[in-house]
């Protein structure tokens, strides 16, 4: 028979014992919270929107890409593949008309069948300046979208511009005709239920905690996804993110700390992988309009004085692939000769400096970002500072928050600034944005070379890989000749996951791709 | 007494208004526009201007402040132009999380701090006194975030006794709730246990040296009664310090919530700072200021009740 303690001491002792007893068994629940078919993944940052036309943060793009899809997909391996279209588009001889045949088995999460009208509506909405889509400028060469029949849609461009297809996965999505007006923009931003075609249906957003999706039972790729529920948690603190993985609270984390990555991926029950991104570059914006970067020999001396291989191997533990030109070493368009011209050679650096206006040495401010994104650039900055000191260049490190640093680069107020710049991974993007006029980051370098601009415009009209490789190779050669932009290398995307999940593929575009992961 | 209380409340409101103005000025004087965060690194200058016009960020500073204050008085903290969510709703959903951690930490700090202080004061120079002095130095020196990470490492990763982070509300069950707030509250409390223990010990020792204590002992009062009366008289500085500590804990929760991945107000504040979410930032700091001001007001009022001299002056 249960007896209730009547004196004070016995009661307190029983209460304390009961509380502890209640605490411990329940804590064991935490060891296996992932039973059932829930896939829990973790982001290192806090997203502000799910709306595909306003995506900024490449980690958070997993949210938009779970709900929304596009005509074509730039996939985890960096291959352009049809998605909602049956095949890649038919492109006219003048390269200004793109025609897509749509799949006939796609339905939105609200049960409505997807048709060409929805595609037209989605693009018309994106292109209307009144709707202020963050990446509208990437698509403004599209002049008209025409519905040819319910499953055929045609895009007319003002001039040849091949890269737009590569930007769709990151910056666009197809939603039902009329849905923006019906629901409003805030709906797409924070609770887009029923308006996508993707493998996950929006369920809940708990601010600063998690966002969840449930399986789309009518997904057109039969058998996918393999989970019933996807939970995307936000954990900014590195150590906590790792602790969540080690204790089985979550299945997969992105952006593990580089210093710990190799040790963690061999721990019991844990595995991991990394691969170089095609568009995530560690850039040093050198302002060509300001001394001492107004001298080409000085710029080339700086480039030749930096040992990128050591930075990649020792500073970032193999999570940065060295490159001195705006192309990743593993990209099909990489120009190795151009890379060599700007590569590490201390004697060459000294000779180039001697030929420059600043033969007796120089001093400049290097702006760096306070909060790490993918890599902590402060580590590389200190290394660069030490290396440039060897040839008589003094570097003053100035630390700024991201929003301040990027503003400096946009306005051209800096001398030099170091930043990881994540782009869609399409070959021309970084070259266009940083090295041609009237782009957002034009003033980050101040470079304007008609030959470069014309070569890039010609590349936009090409669709054959061999010819594109030649054009991009020439652009890199010009970048090697003039050294307008400092490039240190391309970052790796890396993930760690528990061995209970399978078929994880690290995405060259950084964003986690949860659609095919098995729980 | 009533007049005095009314006076203190009025001055507290004055403090809040002043802090509100300073806060408004500070948030807007920092470099970096929320437009850049919302529209991205490669947004055009034209897009930035449009954004600032649409959200009233181009209006004169005082006009923005007056409009904001008017709304706050009506209980409307506005709608975040970064996340699009209602600021008041965000605050209301995150406040209980932070409150439960801070209140639990405060209770731990108060009980342990005052308890250790009293025991140490009763036997000055004794073994407990010496151990508690050493422990206090340790408690004052250990950074809360480091302690948090160490606790996660041992209690969560190695021993699997507690979850490594996250938050379970009371509605999920008392056990889960306590598990989720135990490590964060403990990390937060350790510094204040040390501070309160030292203050209680010093204040009680001082009081125990008083003439009236000697008289009380001479009159034959039991040791327990003497210590009780001395403690009541030793409490006012401890209460003042506890009130300040309660306010400061909301500040330290900033780091603790980050380390333990707790979706509370402090975490929201940190995000608001990095995302230049002015309205959310102002709302949360304003609330923290109010808590701080009213905690001090509460301490003053308790002291007036405890201290007959202050009662008489009132």
Provide the residue ranges of all domains of chain B, joining segments of one domain with +. 2-73, 94-201+235-313
To the nearest whole percent, how much of chain A has pLDDT over 90? 77
Convert the pLDDT of each residue in B52-91 to its tens digit.
Answer: 887 777 888 888 888 888 888 888 888 887 787 889 998 9
Q: At residue B102, does pLDDT exceed 70?
A: yes
**Confidence band of B312 (pLDDT split at 50, 70, 90):** low
Rounded to the nearest 5 percent, the helix, strand and coil shares of chain B are 80, 0, 20
Chain B nearest-CA distance from A190, in A, is 8
Backbone phi and psi for residue A239, each to the nearest 5 degrees, phi listed first: -65, -40
pLDDT at A9: 53
Provide the 8-state DSSP code for A89. P
Chain-chain contact of B260 with A48 (C-beta, under 8 angstroms): no
- Closest CB to A207 among B90, B167, B178: B90
A376: left (phi over 0), alpha (psi -120 to 50) or beta: beta
Specify the higher pLDDT residue, A130 or A99.
A99
pLDDT at A17: 44
Closest residue in chain A to residue B162, using alpha carbons only: A27
pLDDT at A24: 43
Chain-chain contact of A407 with B36 (C-beta, under 8 angstroms): yes
Chain A nearest-CA distance from B127, in A, is 26
Q: How many CA atoms lie within 13 A of B310 on its CB side?
A: 13
**Would you tell me which residues 71-90 of chain B have a C-beta closer than 8 angstroms to some C-beta of chain A?**
82-85, 90
Residues of A in contact with B162 (CB under 8 A): 27, 30
Chain-chain contact of A401 with B173 (C-beta, under 8 angstroms): no
Interface test with chain A among B47, B164, B175, by most A beta carbons within 10 Å: B164
Q: At residue B41, does pLDDT exceed 70?
A: no
pLDDT at B80: 84
pLDDT at A359: 94
Q: What is the 3-state secondary structure (H, E, C) of A160-216?
A: CCCCHHHHHHHHCCCCCCCHHHHHCHHHHHHCCCCCCCCCEEEEEEECCCEEEEEEC
**Confidence band of B200 (pLDDT split at 50, 70, 90):** very high
Residues of B in contact with A424 (CB under 8 A): none
Convert the pLDDT of each residue in A412-422 to its tens digit.
Answer: 999 999 999 99
pLDDT at A431: 96
**What angle is formed at CA A386 by the lines to CA A383 and CA A388, rounded to 5 degrees?**
105
Q: At residue A30, does pLDDT exceed 60?
A: no
Most confident of A248-262, A481-495, B280-294: A481-495
Region A255-267: mean pLDDT is 88
Chain-chain contact of B157 with A134 (C-beta, under 8 angstroms): no
CB pairs under 8 A between A and B: 135
Region B134-149: mean pLDDT is 92
Beta pairing, strands A252-254 & A486-498: antiparallel
Q: Cα B125 to chain center, whole Å?
A: 33
Q: How far is CA A248 from CA A499, A504, B222, in A?
A: 10, 17, 57
Specify the higher pLDDT residue, A46 or A65.
A65
Q: Provide the 10 A C-beta neighbour count for residue B308.
A: 10
Tokens of B156: 């969560």
pLDDT averaged over chain B? 87
Tokens of A211: 């966002």
Region A279-307: mean pLDDT is 97
pTM of the model: 0.82
Q: Are A39 and A214 in contact (CB under 8 A)?
A: no
Chain-chain contact of B271 with A28 (C-beta, under 8 angstroms): no
Taking the Cβ of residue B31 and every Cβ of chain A, the question of whether any pair is shorter than 8 Å is answered with: yes
Region B273-286: mean pLDDT is 85
**Confidence band of B311 (pLDDT split at 50, 70, 90):** low
Helix (H, G, I), strand (E, B) or coil at A461: coil
Residues of B in contact with A23 (CB under 8 A): 175, 178-179
pLDDT at A393: 96
Least confident range of A54-68, A369-383, B48-62, B209-223: B48-62
Chain-chain contact of A26 with B42 (C-beta, under 8 angstroms): no
Residues in chain A: 519
Q: At residue B203, does pLDDT exceed 50?
A: yes
Convert the pLDDT of each residue in A164-217 to its tens digit.
Answer: 999 999 999 999 999 999 999 889 999 999 999 999 999 999 988 899 999 999
Q: At residue A68, does pLDDT exceed 70?
A: yes
Torsion of CA A262, A266, A269, A271, to 10 degrees: 50
- Which CATH number applies to B94-201+235-313? 1.10.3720.10
Region A461-476: mean pLDDT is 93
H or E segment and range at residue A369: strand A362-369
Closest residue in chain A to residue B266, using alpha carbons only: A208
Region A105-110: mean pLDDT is 97
Chain-chain contact of A407 with B31 (C-beta, under 8 angstroms): yes
Nearest residue to B179 via CA among A334, A343, A368, A30: A30
**Confidence band of A23 (pLDDT split at 50, 70, 90):** very low
Interface test with chain A among B82, B166, B281, by most A beta carbons within 10 Å: B166
Beta pairing, strands A416-422 & A252-254: unpaired
Interface test with chain B among A30, A128, A205, by most B beta carbons within 10 Å: A30
Instruction: Give Dmax over CA atoms of chain A in angstroms.
Output: 97
Q: How many CA atoms lie within 13 A of B241 on its CB side?
A: 21
Q: Provide the 10 A C-beta neighbour count for residue B115.
A: 14
**Confidence band of A1 (pLDDT split at 50, 70, 90):** very low
pLDDT at B195: 94
Beta pairing, strands A152-157 & A200-206: unpaired
Q: Are A108 and A195 in contact (CB under 8 A)?
A: yes
Nearest residue to B271 via CA among A43, A388, A112: A43
Taking the Cβ of residue B265 and every Cβ of chain A, the question of whether any pair is shorter than 8 Å is answered with: no
Residues of A in contact with B81 (CB under 8 A): none
Q: Is the ipTM of this complex over 0.85?
A: no
**What angle is formed at CA B44 by the lines to CA B39 and CA B50, rounded to 5 degrees?**
70
- Closest CB to A137 among B44, B85, B258: B44
DSSP secondary structure, A259-328, as one string? HHHHHHTTSTTEEEEEEEEEEEEEEEEE-TTSTTTTSHHHHHHHHHH--HHHIIIIISTT-EEE-SSSS-
Angle between helices B174-208 and B144-151 (to 10 degrees): 140
Q: At residue A257, does pLDDT exceed 80?
A: yes
Most confident of A82-91, B86-95, B116-125: A82-91
pLDDT at A172: 96
Q: Are A283 and A421 in contact (CB under 8 A)?
A: yes
Strands (E) across A375-516 are located at 393-400, 416-422, 486-498
Q: At residue B1, does pLDDT exceed 70?
A: no
Region A374-394: mean pLDDT is 93
pLDDT at A16: 47
Specify the higher pLDDT residue, B71 or A342.
A342
Provide the 8-state DSSP code for A156. E
pLDDT at A33: 45
Name residue, tokens 């919302």. B38
Q: At residue B40, does pLDDT exceed 90?
A: no
**Confidence band of A495 (pLDDT split at 50, 70, 90):** very high
Region A217-232: mean pLDDT is 96
Q: At residue A121, does pLDDT exceed 50?
A: yes
To the nearest whole percent, how much of chain B has pLDDT over 70? 95
Convert the pLDDT of each residue in B210-256 to its tens digit.
Answer: 888 889 888 888 888 888 889 988 998 999 899 889 989 998 898 89
pLDDT at A28: 40
Residues of A in contact with B161 (CB under 8 A): 24, 27
Residues of B in contact with A189 (CB under 8 A): 83-84
Taking the Cβ of residue B179 and every Cβ of chain A, the question of whether any pair is shorter than 8 Å is answered with: yes
Taking the Cβ of residue B166 and every Cβ of chain A, the question of whether any pair is shorter than 8 Å is answered with: yes
Region A320-347: mean pLDDT is 96
pLDDT averaged over chain A? 90
**Confidence band of A25 (pLDDT split at 50, 70, 90):** very low
Q: How many CA atoms lie within 13 A of A503 on its CB side?
A: 12
Burial A367-406 (b: 16+ CB within 10 A, else e): bbbeebbbbbbebbbebbeebbeebbbebeebebbbbbbb
- Would you call the peptide bond into A292 cis, given omega within 30 degrees of 0 as the criterion? yes
Chain-chain contact of B176 with A26 (C-beta, under 8 angstroms): yes
Residues in chain B: 314
To the nearest whole percent, how much of chain B has pLDDT over 90? 37
Closest residue in chain A to residue B182, using alpha carbons only: A23
Tokens of B142: 């250990």
Tokens of A368: 């760096």
pLDDT at B224: 87
Backbone phi and psi for residue A280, each to the nearest 5 degrees, phi listed first: -100, 100
Q: Are A380 and A282 in contact (CB under 8 A)?
A: yes
Residues of B in contact with A206 (CB under 8 A): 263
Chain-chain contact of B178 with A19 (C-beta, under 8 angstroms): yes
pLDDT at B71: 86
Chain-chain contact of B152 with A28 (C-beta, under 8 angstroms): no
pLDDT at B254: 85
Chain B nearest-CA distance from A433, in A, is 9
What is the spatial distance between Cα A177 and Cα A183, in angstroms, rounded to a whole number? Answer: 11
- Closest CB to A403 among B32, B176, B271: B32
Closest residue in chain A to residue B49, using alpha carbons only: A132
């Amino acid at each position: 028979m249960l007896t209730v303690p009547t004196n004070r001491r016995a009661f307190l002792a029983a209460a304390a014992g009961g509380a502890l007893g209640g605490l411990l068994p329940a804590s064991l629940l935490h060891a296996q919270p992932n039973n059932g078919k829930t896939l829990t993944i973790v982001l290192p940052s806090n997203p502000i929107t799910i709306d595909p036309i306003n995506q900024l943060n490449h980690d958070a793009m997993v949210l938009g890409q779970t709900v929304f899809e596009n005509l074509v997909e730039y996939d985890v391996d960096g291959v352009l593949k049809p998605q909602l279209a049956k095949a890649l588009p038919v492109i006219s001889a003048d390269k200004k008309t793109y025609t897509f045949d749509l799949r006939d088995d796609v339905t939105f999460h609200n049960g409505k069948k997807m048709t060409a009208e929805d595609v037209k509506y989605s693009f018309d909405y994106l292109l209307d300046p009144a709707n202020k889509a963050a990446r509208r400028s990437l698509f403004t060469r599209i002049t008209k979208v025409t519905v040819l029949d319910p499953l055929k849609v045609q895009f007319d461009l003002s001039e040849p511009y091949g890269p737009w297809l590569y930007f769709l996965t990151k910056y666009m999505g197809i939603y039902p005709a009329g849905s923006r007006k019906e629901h409003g923009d805030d709906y797409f931003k924070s609770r887009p239920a029923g308006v996508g075609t993707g493998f996950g249906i929006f369920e809940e957003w708990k601010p600063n905690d998690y966002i969840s999706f449930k399986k789309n039972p009518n997904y057109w790729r039969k058998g996918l996804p393999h989970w019933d529920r996807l939970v995307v948690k936000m954990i900014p603190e590195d150590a906590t993110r790792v602790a969540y993985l080690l204790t089985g609270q979550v299945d997969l984390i992105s952006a593990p700390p580089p210093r710990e990555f190799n040790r963690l991926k061999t721990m019991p029950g844990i595995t991991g992988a990394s691969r170089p991104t095609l568009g995530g570059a560690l850039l040093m914006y050198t302002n060509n309009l300001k001394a001492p970067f107004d001298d080409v020999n000085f710029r080339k001396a700086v480039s030749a004085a930096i040992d990128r291989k050591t930075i990649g191997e020792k500073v970032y533990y193999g999570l940065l692939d060295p490159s001195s030109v705006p192309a990743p070493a593993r990209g099909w368009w990489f120009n190795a000769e151009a890379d060599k011209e700007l590569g590490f050679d201390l004697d060459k650096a000294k000779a180039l400096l001697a030929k420059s206006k600043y033969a007796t040495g120089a001093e400049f401010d290097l702006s760096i970002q306070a909060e790490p994104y993918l890599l902590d650039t402060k580590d590389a900055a200190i290394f660069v500072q030490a290396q440039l000191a060897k040839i008589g260049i003094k570097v003053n490190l100035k630390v700024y928050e991201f929003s301040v640093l990027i503003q400096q680069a946009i306005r051209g107020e800096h001398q030099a600034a170091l930043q990881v710049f994540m782009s869609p991974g399409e070959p021309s993007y970084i070259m266009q944005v940083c090295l041609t006029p009237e782009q957002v980051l034009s003033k980050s370098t101040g470079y304007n070379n008609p030959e470069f601009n014309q070569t890039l415009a010609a590349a936009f009209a090409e669709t054959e890989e061999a010819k594109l490789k030649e054009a991009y190779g020439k652009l890199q050669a010009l970048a090697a000749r003039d050294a307008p932009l400092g490039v240190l290398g391309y970052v790796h995307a890396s993930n760690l996951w528990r061995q209970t999940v399978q078929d994880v593929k690290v995405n060259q575009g950084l964003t986690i791709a949860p659609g095919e992961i098995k729980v | 007494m009533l007049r005095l209380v009314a006076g203190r409340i009025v001055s507290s409101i004055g403090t809040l208004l002043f802090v509100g103005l300073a806060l408004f000025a500070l948030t807007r004087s920092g470099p970096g526009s929320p437009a850049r965060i919302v529209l991205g690194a490669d947004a055009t200058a034209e897009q930035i201007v449009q954004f600032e016009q649409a959200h009233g960020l181009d209006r004169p500073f005082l006009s923005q402040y007056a409009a904001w204050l008017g709304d706050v008085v009506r209980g409307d903290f506005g709608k975040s132009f970064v996340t699009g969510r209602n600021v008041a709703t965000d605050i209301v959903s995150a406040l209980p999380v932070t409150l439960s951690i801070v209140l639990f930490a405060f209770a731990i700090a108060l009980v342990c701090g005052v308890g250790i202080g009293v025991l140490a004061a009763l036997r000055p120079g004794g073994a407990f006194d010496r151990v508690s002095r050493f422990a206090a130095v340790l408690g004052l020196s250990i950074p809360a975030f480091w302690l948090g990470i160490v606790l996660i490492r041992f209690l969560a990763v190695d021993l699997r006794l507690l979850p490594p982070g996250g938050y379970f509300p009371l509605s999920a069950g008392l056990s889960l709730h306590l598990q989720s707030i135990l490590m964060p509250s403990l990390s937060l409390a350790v510094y204040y246990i040390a501070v309160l223990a030292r203050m209680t010990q010093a204040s009680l020792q001082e009081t125990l040296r008083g003439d009236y204590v000697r008289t009380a002992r001479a009159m034959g009062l039991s040791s327990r009664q003497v210590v009780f009366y001395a403690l009541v008289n030793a409490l006012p500085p401890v209460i003042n310090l506890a009130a300040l500590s309660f306010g400061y804990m909301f500040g330290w929760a900033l780091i603790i919530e980050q380390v333990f991945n707790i979706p509370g107000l402090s975490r929201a504040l940190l995000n608001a700072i990095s995302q230049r979410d002015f309205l959310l930032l102002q709302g949360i700091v304003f609330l923290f200021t109010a808590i701080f001001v009213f905690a001090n007001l509460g301490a003053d009022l308790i002291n007036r009740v405890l201290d007959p001299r202050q009662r008489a002056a009132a």
